[in-house]
Amino acid sequence: MKAVQYRTVGGHPEVVTVPDPEPGPGQVLLKVTAAGVCHSDIAVMSWSAEQLPFPLPLTLGHEGVGTVAGFGAGVTGLTEGESVAVYGPWGCGSCAKCAEGKENYCLRATELGIMPPGLGAPGAMAEYLVVDDPRHLVPLGDLDPVRTVPLTDAGLTPYHAIKRSLPKLLPGSTAVVIGTGGLGHVAIQLLRTMTAARVIALDVTEEKLALARTVGAHEAVLSDGAAAGKVRELTAGLGAQAVFDFVGAPPTTALAGQLAAVEGDVTIVGIGGGTLAVGFGATPYEVSVTAPYWGSRSELIEVLDLARAGAVDVHVETYGIDEAPLAYERLHAGKINGRAVILP
Ligand code: NAD
Ligand code: ZN
Ligand code: ZN
């Protein structure tokens, strides 16, 4: 089968032919319908050999949907041809966090060498994908798989982040979204459907700001030296009750700290190497700073339910598997509007 692989440190993604995988006992084989392209892959492909926590080659793709094409011994409850989404942050299934459905925070994944598909285990950017356990599948039903696949990460990650801040996002509050790309443009829609907050979006190009407005941002502001002043002006000097940073680079984490209101939340989702110090004088009084990772299984079900209710509409650009390297190039250059999705 064809697969999109990251093969050598510092290299580019390549389309290669690899053996068709077989599901082992307890595992499920999916015929992949669609796989999303996430900026985290670009971060992974920028790491040195020492930083890389898994061996190469790696089949990319940690956002995946497919149809059940087979299963190994002991698997029950699935029907061949059924359309499913993959819950990506695989854990052990039995530690205290996994028992809560928070496999993204599995306490034993490192020790047991469990890694998500596309981030250590073979990923979804291929014709077939082996899923290690049926509990990592969520039925899609009638949802359009192509427009839904980004919700497994670009939807689930902001959903989890926003849910933490809901008590602060009361009527009259403000939420700021920094970076309105794959995750950010879904975050804006989630904020609009889950809260009464006024949403201010920040990005670096007019195209991205136009998308932000289309998907529901009340205000869209260029993320430049004047941004902090503009957001303060828009909030009568108070700042935002919640700031979600989907870039996470040094300039944006610093900006996020400046934009927070007293008792506000700063949530750093992007993995651009930025940090934010907390302490007297560093941020306004009682600001909470957090850096969450992905989301829980039940939250993925909730996000898919929101999609079913028509509350989120992911903007997708589709590419054939041979065009996957081009999709990564365009993402790297900031040229994707919404999310790129590969159709193997
Ligand atoms: P993306 O490339 O689709 O979106 C990033 C957006 O940020 C782009 O629109 C870009 O124009 C904008 N941007 C860049 N510099 C900016 C700046 N200085 N100010 C404002 N906007 C700026 O990326 P994505 O796939 O949405 O991922 C976003 C980030 O989240 C990445 O760092 C990714 O690795 C990370 N991520 C984290 C998790 C997690 O669990 N914490 C999960 C998924 C992705
Ligand atoms: Zn991702
Ligand atoms: Zn666990």
Tens-digit pLDDT profile for residues 192-204: 999 999 999 999 9
What's the confidence (pLDDT) of residue 184?
A: 99
- State whether 139 and 27 are in the same domain: yes
Domain endpoint, select from 246, 263, 290: 290
Domain of 18?
2-153+295-343
What are the pLDDT digits (tens) for 248-278?
Answer: 999 999 999 999 999 999 999 999 999 999 9
| Distance (Å, whole) CA 125 – CA 9 | 19
Percentage of the residues of the chain whose pLDDT score is greater than 90 = 100
**Which of the ligands is closest to the CA of residue 107?**
3
**Which of the ligands is closest to the CA of residue 61?**
2
The pTM score is: 0.98
What's the confidence (pLDDT) of residue 86?
A: 99
Q: How do the residues of the chain divide into helix, strand and coil, expressed in percent and rounded to 5?
A: 30, 25, 45
Supply the CATH number for residue 94's domain: 3.90.180.10
What are the pLDDT digits (tens) for 282-296?
Answer: 999 999 999 999 999
Supply the CATH number for residue 214's domain: 3.40.50.720
Beta bridge partners of 288: 265
Domain endpoint, select from 247, 271, 290: 290
- State whether 301 and 286 are in the same domain: no
- State whether 25 and 149 are in the same domain: yes
- State whether 261 and 300 are in the same domain: no
Domain endpoint, select from 245, 261, 290: 290
- State whether 10 and 115 are in the same domain: yes
Beta bridge partners of 35: 64, 342
What's the confidence (pLDDT) of residue 123?
A: 98
- As a whole number, the mean pLDDT across the chain is 98
Output the ligand 1 site: residues, CB below 6 A. Answer: 38-40, 43, 153-154, 157, 178-184, 202-204, 208, 223, 246-248, 251-252, 269-272, 293-294, 331, 334, 336
Pairing between β-strand 288-290 and β-strand 260-268 as defined by DSSP bridges = parallel
What's the confidence (pLDDT) of residue 48?
A: 97
- Report the complex ipTM: 0.99
Q: Taking Cα atoms as reference points, which of 166, 164, 157 lies closest to residue 185?
A: 157
Confidence of residue 1 (pLDDT cuts 50, 70, 90): very high
Question: How many domains, the chain?
Answer: 2
- State whether 143 and 13 are in the same domain: yes
- State whether 39 and 64 are in the same domain: yes
| Cβ atoms of residues 13 and 320 within 8 Å | no
Give the closest residue (by CA) to ligand 1 atom 23.
Answer: 39
- State whether 275 and 259 are in the same domain: yes
- State whether 283 and 165 are in the same domain: yes
What are the pLDDT digits (tens) for 175-232?
Answer: 999 999 999 999 999 999 999 999 999 999 999 999 999 999 999 999 999 999 999 9
What's the confidence (pLDDT) of residue 73?
A: 97
- State whether 199 and 228 are in the same domain: yes
- State whether 7 and 144 are in the same domain: yes
What are the pLDDT digits (tens) for 113-122?
Answer: 999 999 999 9
Angle at 271 between CA 102 and CA 182, to 5 degrees: 80
- State whether 191 and 60 are in the same domain: no
The CA 87 to ligand 3 mean position distance, Å, reads: 14
What are the pLDDT digits (tens) for 24-54?
Answer: 999 999 999 999 999 999 999 999 999 999 9
The CA 233 to ligand 2 mean position distance, Å, reads: 33
The CA 237 to ligand 1 mean position distance, Å, reads: 27
What's the confidence (pLDDT) of residue 28?
A: 98
**Which of the ligands is closest to the CA of residue 102?**
3
What's the confidence (pLDDT) of residue 162?
A: 98
